[in-house]
Chain A
Amino acid sequence: MSAVGSLVAGSLAFMAPLAPAAIGGLATEYVGALNIALEGLILVGAFSYAAAGSIAGPIVGFAAALLSSAIVAAGADLFSRKAKADPFVVGLGVNMLAPAAASILSQAVFDTKGVAVVAGLQSAMALPGLRYSDVASFAVAAAIIAAIAATPFGTRSRAAGMSRDSLAMAGVDYGRVRGAAYFVSGLACGATGAALAASVGAWVPNMSAGRGWIALVAVYLGGKRLGGTVAAVAMFSLLLSAAAAAQAVVELPAELLLSIPYFTAALVVIVGARGSARRSARRRAP
């Protein structure tokens, strides 16, 4: 495979777990809620895939990942609404609880709190650089995109983000729309977690490795728009793929190469903010 070909294949492999989480983050952004629990929800999905998959195989594992993550997300949102708790703080709690709970459960299920390799759970290659689990993950992302772009749920979500009062006047319950958005966000993070666990056929503690945060940043870099978010995910995936490919060419340590996408993204956020501040100033000028 040519260098460009392998870069594209690598990008797709990075994109497969990242895209659903970012689309899931966008789903809650549409209803006007910042879901910072993406990182924890990915871990819930990854652990559920490995745990349920070890008993009933990868397909059941994948379904368990989607469902468990969605239930946790919807449960966290329900708690936040009913207990009038700040969604940010609840998200922080979920992010702290998920790795600890997974570690405790890992001891019970796999008899280790470290890496647990499960035979038969590593997904086979469907295309060069792309596993069947990646394809399934893309399918989940595509289904959510379709749901938020072309269904009444998407329309209500956007309306909820714009004006809760107008939504109430139309007879739609904001809480239910927000709950549904969190459920969808959980489904998406479950797919991300399952794709990560299926790529190695194992449960690895903290295997989300910051992907939830990158997904959240992609939502903002993409201007909280569908096309923009997908483009930002593609940019991140390309950067991560380039960093991984560079390890074979440049004599730079892996950790330093892996840090580059994060610094680059921070720079893009600052430059982008500067650009939008200038545009706003120009619009305000007489």
Chain B
Amino acid sequence: MRPGFRTRFHIETIHDAGGTKAAVRLVAALASAATLAALAAAFLSSEPSSALRAFFLAPFGTEAAFLSTLELAAPLAVCALGVIVSFRAGHYSLGGEGQAYAGSFAAALAAPVLYEALGPASVPLSILIGASAGALVAAPSAIGKRLAGADVLLTSILVSQGVIFAVDWAIGGPFRDRSSNLVAMEALPRGALLPRLAPPSTLTAASIVALAACLAAAFYFDRTRSGAAHDLYGRNQRFAELQGFDVARLSWAPIIAAGVLHGAAGAMMALGARGTAIRGMSGGIGWSAIGAALVAGSRPQALPFAAVLFAWLDSGSRQASILSDLPPDAGQAIKAVVILAVSARPAIAALRRRR
């Protein structure tokens, strides 16, 4: 066995699965999620019918609930897009959690100042600052990869863990709003937040931005030479080099791009329904994003559906825990099992044959 500082492995299931496979995966994920949700309601709640109704109907029961579920999906879709951008280049960055958290903090810090100076025009700038914070957290991994060939998986997780501690301190310490019981920064002025498009739902422009980003990424990967080079680099670096592609740039740029997307997702959370940065607000979004990217078969155009599926599981389990006694963590457990289910190739292959 060769000793070294690099992990040498490929995650086959995270490469572009192709249009049909991505669709089949989505169907498999939806079917397994619905089955598991029904089983969870039946076995984990003493009021199965209320739990079932709350899980399946409440997130879509009213227009406002449906639009709020879409809003919940927006940051997850952007985060998962970051995962696709880095993983399809063969950079297995696991630092999404810290990058998103840093994005939330930076956006919440900048938003009041920018709002005072620029008014409502401050919102895109705040998101830009959040995105820059995500890029900054991703930078050590990108620099390490470019200059030393350091393994992105290791450096990204280490830097992310360190950043999570540092942001925890910042939100709970010097920037904490002492007038609130919540460990959070001061609530942002209404004008500094993403404008709500359809009150009383929480829907903001974040959903439209997320959709546009997914479509732009799909165009990039499917229709541009740079996108093809990006993909080829992820599959075979040497071959990409022989084809004359700029492999030096591809050794770091996708890592930074992923950081930008994760940071922007974090900013969307702070400037969206949350209205500020709250300690621990990233709440596993980095890991859920990897799951969503997998369910989408690494195809950006399938991401909005995967993100809505995960948002439904989050929203459904929350609603079911309020309206019945279903444990609120049921949604997270179902997400994990869905990820396991869609990773099983024979099951997916059987489903494809039936189709």
Contact = CB atoms under 8 A, between A and B. Distances in A.
Interface stretch (A49-57, A121-129, A272-280): A272-280
Contacts of B169: 253-256, 259
Interface of B: 1-7, 9, 11-14, 44, 92, 140, 143-144, 147-151, 154-155, 157-159, 161-163, 165-166, 168-169, 172-173, 284, 287-288, 290-291, 294, 327, 329-330, 332-333, 335-337, 339-340, 343-347
Contacts of B12: 86
Interface residues of A, number: 57
Contacts of A83: 343-347
Nearest to B170: A255
A107 B161 contact: no
Contact of B339 (A96, A260, A266): A96
Contacts of A94: 336
A273 B151 contact: yes
B17 to A, nearest CB: 12
A118 B223 CA distance: 59
Interface stretch (A97-105, A145-153, A185-193): A97-105
8 closest cross-chain pairs (CB), A and B: A223-B3, A262-B162, A255-B169, A83-B344, A97-B336, A274-B148, A273-B150, A259-B165
A93 B340 contact: yes
Interface of A: 29-30, 32, 34, 79, 83-86, 88-90, 92-97, 99-101, 103-104, 107, 113, 158, 161-162, 210, 213, 216-217, 220-221, 223-225, 228, 253-256, 258-260, 262-263, 265-266, 269-274, 276-277
B185 to A, nearest CB: 15
Contact of B284 (A29, A89, A96, A220): A96
Contact of B155 (A107, A266, A274): A266
Interface SS of chain B: helix, strand, loop or mixed?
Answer: helix
Contact of B346 (A84, A107, A113): A84
B73 to A, nearest CB: 18
B340 to A, nearest CB: 4
B3 A224 contact: yes
A89 B163 contact: no
A95 B287 contact: yes
Given A30-B1, A220-B151, A269-B5, A96 B345 contact: no
B345 A255 contact: no
B155 A256 contact: no
B332 to A, nearest CB: 4
A259 B1 contact: no
Contact of B148 (A88, A107, A223, A277): A277
Contacts of B329: 99-101, 103-104, 113
A89 B5 contact: no
B154 A158 contact: no
Contact of A92 (B140, B157, B158, B290): B290
